[in-house]
Amino acid sequence: MFAIITGASKGIGKAVAEKLAAEGFDVAICARNVQALDETAAAIRQQSPRAKVLALPVDMGDKQAVLSFAAAVRGEFGEVPDILVNNAGIFVPGAVHEEEDGHLEKMMAVNLYSAYHLTRAFIPAMKAAKKGHVFNLCSTASHKAYPNGGSYSITKFALLGFSKNLREEMKPHGVKVTSISPGPVLTASWEGFEGPADRLMEPADVASMLWAAYHLSPQAVIEDIVMRPQLGDLG
């Protein structure tokens, strides 16, 4: 069994990769930060010595880099991943009418197009094999607009739309598709947060939910998951 997790050097992606490796999966991970990625790969190998780990630095905003990563994964593990986790993304708050020119395009490339291109690289083989599970890491910002959401919220709405369309397309083919929309999680996006620790979820919470959604019978699928801190949204 093998899984692909993008944006896996820290936060949710790292927690998911660690969880899946611990459950017996080989993992292919990527991120932009080479040092952080290498540290994550080393941690996974130490925690799960039997897991094969492919860790490659990738700019997920670059289509050719995404396709090259897909080719490397196929060469190492094969055509049909058991799990594909589209987690790579960037968070920059801002207002639509105040953002710099080109900001939306950059956010779209990382937050949406990377998932689109990587999924398209593997979905034909998954469809033919009638197996596999695609997880798209969306956000509560995918469901509700909020002040200062700007391009980030736009891209997350789009990623949820992509997930819903893919789910409809894959229904007859045995490939599961699930969107996970977490609220505030203790990741780099919330560095500097000065509120109580219990106002943020932990990355491992998301990893546990992903595993629970994967670990169902073949005839069952969870389409959409929304997660929030017990005390609700911030702000």
Catalytic positions, written as ranges: 152
Q: 227: burial class by Cβ within 10 Å (0-12, 13-18, 19+)?
A: middle
- 213's tokens: 């959604």
Residue 38 burial by CB count (10 A; 0-12/13-18/19+): exposed, middle or buried? middle
Q: What is the dihedral of CA 227, 14, 47, 84, to 10 degrees?
A: 80
Q: How crowded is the C-beta side of 182, counted as CA atoms within 13 Å?
A: 25
3-state SS, residue 31: strand
> Is 32 within 8 Å of 10 (Cβ atoms)?
no
